[in-house]
């Protein structure tokens, strides 16, 4: 499995899955969440409303993940995960790691071979970008080493970062 970090826009990634740093309502927001909802079009919001109506009436808890179609995105699917909010006192590293791990598991369940992650919880949720980068890379590497990749699983994990400073933290974590 190849793991890379690039500077770019997660909404234009040619991968099977893009991961949305969602809020628990799944109904859109700012940052990555707002950008993905805007780029995917109204079908994404409708799909998220249906998830809330049927499977997740109380919202998606932090550390969990759920999939929808990608709609107008180049990616076939969007996997939504809710990161812990540092400002709200959610400072549990295993919960942050769970965002990446659960997203990978959902992606494998969809049959995906490539996935693009943002820096979950590093934006408005206030986590230090170095901690997010180290936790994300460690989680993906641990998952990769404990998962048989011979069965056509995930071949590419791409961290897509919007700013040079966040990209530098992910590159350092990968080094």
CATH class of 2-174: alpha beta
How far is the C-alpha of 96 from the C-alpha of 127, rounded, in Å? Answer: 10
Among candidate residues 33, 69, 92, 150, the one labeled active-site is 33
Q: Where are the domains of the chain?
A: 2-174
The answer to whether 12 is a known catalytic residue is no
Please list the pLDDT of the chain residue by residue as tens digits (175 residues): 999 999 999 999 999 999 999 999 999 999 999 999 999 999 999 999 999 999 999 999 999 999 999 999 999 999 999 999 999 999 999 999 999 999 999 999 999 999 999 999 998 999 999 999 999 999 999 999 887 555 568 999 999 999 999 999 999 999 9
Per the structure block, which two tokens stand in for 19?
A: 């991961």
Cα→Cα distances 109→36, 83, 102, Å: 21, 21, 11
> What is the phi/psi pair of residue 169, to 5°?
-65, -40
pTM of the predicted model, to two decimals?
0.96
């Amino acid at each position: 499995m190849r793991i890379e970090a690039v500077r770019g826009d997660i909404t234009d990634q040619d991968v099977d899955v893009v991961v949305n740093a969602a809020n628990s309502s799944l109904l859109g927001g700012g940052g990555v969440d707002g950008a993905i909802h805007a780029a995917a079009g109204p079908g994404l919001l409708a799909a998220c409303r249906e998830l809330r109506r049927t499977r997740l009436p109380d919202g998606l808890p932090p550390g969990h993940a759920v999939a929808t179609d990608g709609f107008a995105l180049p990616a076939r699917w969007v996997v939504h995960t809710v990161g812990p909010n540092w400002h709200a006192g959610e400072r549990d590293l295993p919960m942050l790691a769970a965002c990446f791990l659960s997203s990978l598991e959902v992606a494998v369940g969809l049959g995906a071979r490539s996935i693009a992650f943002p820096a979950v919880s590093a934006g408005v949720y206030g986590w230090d970008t170095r901690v997010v980068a180290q936790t994300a890379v460690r989680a993906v590497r641990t998952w990769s080493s404990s998962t048989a990749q011979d069965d056509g699983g995930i071949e590419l994990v791409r961290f897509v970062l919007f700013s040079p400073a966040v990209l530098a933290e992910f590159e350092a974590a990968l080094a």
